[in-house]
A and B are shown apart, each in its own frame.
Chain A
Amino acid sequence: MSDYKIIFSGPVGAGKTTAIQSISDILPVTTDEQASDMTRKMKNGTTVAMDYGLIKLPGTERIHLYGTPGQERFDFMWEILTNGGIGLVLLINNQRPDPFGDLHFFLNAFQAFIKQGKVVIGVTQMDQADTPRIEDYHLQLENSGVKIPVFDIDARIKKDVSILLEALLYSLDPGLEE
Chain B
Amino acid sequence: MSDPQVSPIRVAAIGMDQRQRNALVMLFGNHCRNRYILVEEDSSEICIIDLDLFGGERLWQEFRQRHPDRPLILASLKPRQVENGHTLFVKKPIPVIQLMSAIDQLSQILNNRAAEQKIEAAQNAETTPSEPQHPRHSVSPVTQKVASLMTEAQEKVFIGTSPDIDPDNQAQLAKIYYDPQHYLQGHVQQALNQATRYNKNVTIEGPWPAIDMIIAKQQIMVDAREKHLRPFCTVPDATREVELQFHEQHKSATGRREYSIYAFIWQLALWASRGRLPSGTNLTQPIYLRRWPNFSRLVVTPHALAIAALWTRQPRSLIDTAKSLGIPQRYVFAFYSAANAVQLAGETRRAVDTLLEPPAIKQAENRGLFSKLLSRLRG
A contacts, CB < 8 Å to B: 2, 4, 23, 55, 57-59, 61, 63, 86, 122, 127, 130, 133-134, 138, 147-154, 156-160, 162-167, 169-178
Are A172 and B296 neighbours in the complex by a CB distance under 8 Å? no
Q: Is the CB of B366 within 8 A of A176?
A: no
A59 to B371, CA, bound (A): 13
A-B pairs with the 6 shortest C-beta distances? A173-B364, A174-B309, A147-B312, A170-B309, A151-B296, A175-B361
Q: Which residues of B contact A127 (CB under 8 A)?
A: 134-136
A59, A134, A170: which has the most chain B beta carbons within 10 Å?
Answer: A170
Cβ-defined contact, B376 with A170, below 8 A: no
- A-B pairs with beta carbons under 8 Å apart, 23 shown: A55-B373, A57-B373, A57-B376, A59-B372, A127-B136, A138-B291, A147-B313, A148-B292, A151-B292, A151-B295, A154-B134, A163-B300, A164-B296, A165-B373, A166-B378, A169-B373, A172-B364, A173-B361, A173-B364, A174-B361, A175-B362, A175-B367, A176-B370
Closest CB of chain A to B21's CB: distance in Å? 50
Closest partner residue, chain B, to A135 (CB atom): B291
Given A152-B294, A169-B373, A174-B310, A162 and B361 contact (CB-CB distance below 8 Å): no
Identify B294's interface contact among A86, A151, A165, A171, CB under 8 A.
Answer: A151
Chain A residues with CB under 8 A of B376? 55, 57
Docked CA distance A133–B292 (Å):
14
B363 touches A178 (CB 8 A): no
A149:B364 contact, CB within 8 angstroms: no
CA–CA, A177 and B331, complex, Å: 14
Query: Is B16 interfacial (CB-CB < 8 Å)?
Result: no
Q: B residues 210-226 with Cβ under 8 Å of A?
A: 217-218
| Per-residue contact bits, chain B 350-379, to A (CB 8 Å; 1 contact, 0 not) | 000000000001111011011111101110
